[in-house]
Amino acid sequence: MATITYIEAGRQALAEEMRRDPLVWAVGEDLGRGGVFGQYKGLVDEFGADRISDAPISEACIMGAAVGAAMMGARPVVEMRFSDFALCAVDELVNQAAKARYMFGGQTRVPMVVREPIGMWRSSAAQHSQSLEAWYAHVPGLIVAVPATPADNYAMLKAAIRADDPVVFMEHKNLWPLEGDAPESDAPGVFGKARIARKGDDLTIVSWSAAVHVACEAAETLAAEGIGAEVIDLRSLWPWDREAVFASLKRTGRLLVVHEAVAVAGFGAEIAASAAETMHRDLKAPIRRLGAPRIPISYSPGLEDEVRVTAAAVAKTAREMIAD
């Protein structure tokens, strides 16, 4: 099967959607030179500066202009460069884009995609490394996508561009060079439909974005010890696939949620609470979560590593749950 990188998959998805629909355009800082990570490389040559629009450094202005354009019928793709920078534009996203459809009784919609690269990446320190997906999952009116594979980055970005509601699209920076199977078709993905990344019968591990690969690495280690860990990649946090998680938990009786974001008030807490409320009679062990401690991420590689959720930590926690 042909392979493709995570970054190229996103670029192809955007280019195909721009060819399909003339109302799709992109706006953000550094787009004229291909984007800060190269996600838009070559697109300005094909689509011109009017549709690959280079913006001055003002995240609030970029987001506000895109919200207005979306309300007038365009389908903008907003590039925020780092999820940390998007905080300058949260009012336009949370108080305007997310609420317009409801507050105007459905007379207007805001079909826009907000691309927010997340996660720790090459000692980028406290202001360039955060994973803030739980913040957006908390806001009614927003869809939150967190693709973990190249094929999903392709399919989910297409789905995001075609969605009639605002989508916060969070790509992990460490995944840009990741190679994986190319998409089998040009069909858009489906929000709220999880992927079984690895099958197992002893333990359910739920994860998303780059942490899915950490969970799979741990599952490989556990398999060599005779422990079958099923890894579920949620793909999107809102909506999230409760049915897939609960069906797996029904079989295994053990649930471990793994994410890179801070554990305190992270989305893992929502999953754990939902499972406890609904599946408590099926549990063989207490539900566990693994996430970062509630501290800023350091520039020092050694200190940065201290807050990472590793495959070794996932495997250790899984063994403890099996022994319970």
Q: Which residues are catalytic?
A: 128
Strands 195-198 vs 179-181: parallel, antiparallel or unpaired: unpaired
How far CA 87 is from CA of 60, 132, 240, in Å, comes to 9, 10, 24
Residue 287: both structure tokens together: 């539900």
For the four alpha carbons of 134, 136, 142 and 148, in that order, the dihedral sign comes to: negative
Number of neighbours of residue 21 by Cβ within 10 angstroms: 13
Residue 109: both structure tokens together: 């919609």
**Cβ atoms 207, 231 nearer than 8 A:** yes
Task: Identify the residue whose tokens are 């195909």.
Answer: 16
**Cβ atoms 254, 283 nearer than 8 A:** yes
Residue 18: both structure tokens together: 């721009």
Residue 27: both structure tokens together: 């706006």
Q: What angle do CA 262, 268, 273 make, to 5 degrees?
A: 135
**Cβ atoms 142, 238 nearer than 8 A:** yes
**Cβ atoms 134, 292 nearer than 8 A:** no
**Cβ atoms 66, 166 nearer than 8 A:** no
